[in-house]
Amino acid sequence: MLHSPLLFWVEMFKSHRYIKNINVHNDQLLDLVAFDHIGGFDKDLNNDLLCILDQQSGKIIVRSEYIFNDFIKKKYSNIDFVLDIKTHDNLLNQLLDYKIHPTIKFGNFLCSFNGTPHVSRQLLTAILNNQKMFDPLYSSKNFSYSNKHVIGHLDYMDLSSDEIQIYSKYFKNTDEFSTSVYSFGHDRYDHKKNIYKLEHKLTKSFLHLVSDTMATSYYPFYGEKFLYSIVTRGLFISYAHPEWHKHLVKYYGFKLYNKIFDYDFDVIQNPVKRLIRLMEMISKFSTLSTDDWRDLYLMEQDSIEHNYDHYFSGSYLKRLARFE
């Protein structure tokens, strides 16, 4: 028999897919670990789990991999947010044993690796192929879809009817591409093996367009995917969340490649508009020669080396610790 409203919610949350651990220190304190992206955030920064928790009586502590800003903390004022450094470290440290990468030798413009069929990855692979930037020798799509299905996503992206009519042109493809699976033997959780499957694709490509976790969410979350380029000393841009790149600098201490890339797209809130602006920015590099790519790469050598050393030294964790 449950003795308090708090214990009732404990029982309910035990089955929640994003809850890893729950502790009840007393009848007035619920302390839980919420892992992964916890379902993401809409444009008003609503999150289903946090909305429910915030309405409960008593003190709630939520430990997560997110670094929440003051707006989120005020929005969910009944929750005490704690950065879960240990869980974050366990996710990001998986490539620390990868010490030697192939020689950088450009022969391809772009690579992008798309595992699970989230809406944002469907949109990304569709626009890449539409713009003739998807090479199945260097990019993956571990899922199939129909053109109608992908275009249909635009109806739920806070776009006007005119915008949908215009933007839909960028996502149309042949049925042959849409229904085909292009895979390199993706293992969703075994990054120690995946890096060896992808290392030559990374080091032969001028740019790694990172297909990040749930890019339709409106608040930055960080997985391990960008580190594939860090450990192979490559250039990367992420199709991720608004201000993802800004927060990567502020909270993690990594450097951007802003001598050559324009990060204006990073502040665009709408995920479709952000993706199209990102594609416009990188497209100007796609027709350059391999020598040109090499020259541009060398312009960012200092930032590339900083990021490499910053990761392997563990300095990024010391930086994160400031925000616990």
Q: What is the pLDDT of residues 120-142, one digit of tens each?
A: 999 999 999 999 999 999 999 99
Q: Please give the span between the terminal C-alpha atoms of the chain, in angstroms, as a whole number.
A: 36
Say if residue 117's pLDDT is above 80.
Answer: yes
Amino acid 248: pLDDT: 97
Are 158 and 196 in a shared domain? Answer: yes
Domain check: are 101 and 27 in the same one? no
Whether residues 75 and 100 share a domain: the answer is: no
- Tell me, yes or no, whether 238 and 291 share the same domain: yes
**Residue 254 near residue 236 (C-beta atoms within 8 A):** no
- 79 and 118 in a single domain? The answer is no
- Closest by CA position to 306, among listed 256, 250, 246: 256
213 and 126 within one domain: yes
Among 45, 62, 83, give the residue marking a domain's end. Answer: 83
Asked if residue 180 and residue 61 are part of one domain, the reply reads: no
Boundary (domain end) residue, out of 65, 83, 101: 83
Global pTM reads 0.93
Distance of CA 139 to the CA centre of its chain: 17
- Quick one: 102 and 238 in the same domain? yes
pLDDT at site 190: 82
Number of domains in the chain: 2
pLDDT score, position 90: 81
Last residue of a domain, one of 52, 83, 114: 83
Are 68 and 132 contained in the same domain? no
Cα separation, 145 vs 150, whole angstroms: 7
Same domain? 183 vs 240: yes
Record the tokens describing residue 78, joined without a space: 């009944």
**For 24-44, what is the mean pLDDT?**
84
Confidence of residue 64 (pLDDT cuts 50, 70, 90): very high
| Parent domain of 220 | 92-321
108 & 147 share domain = yes
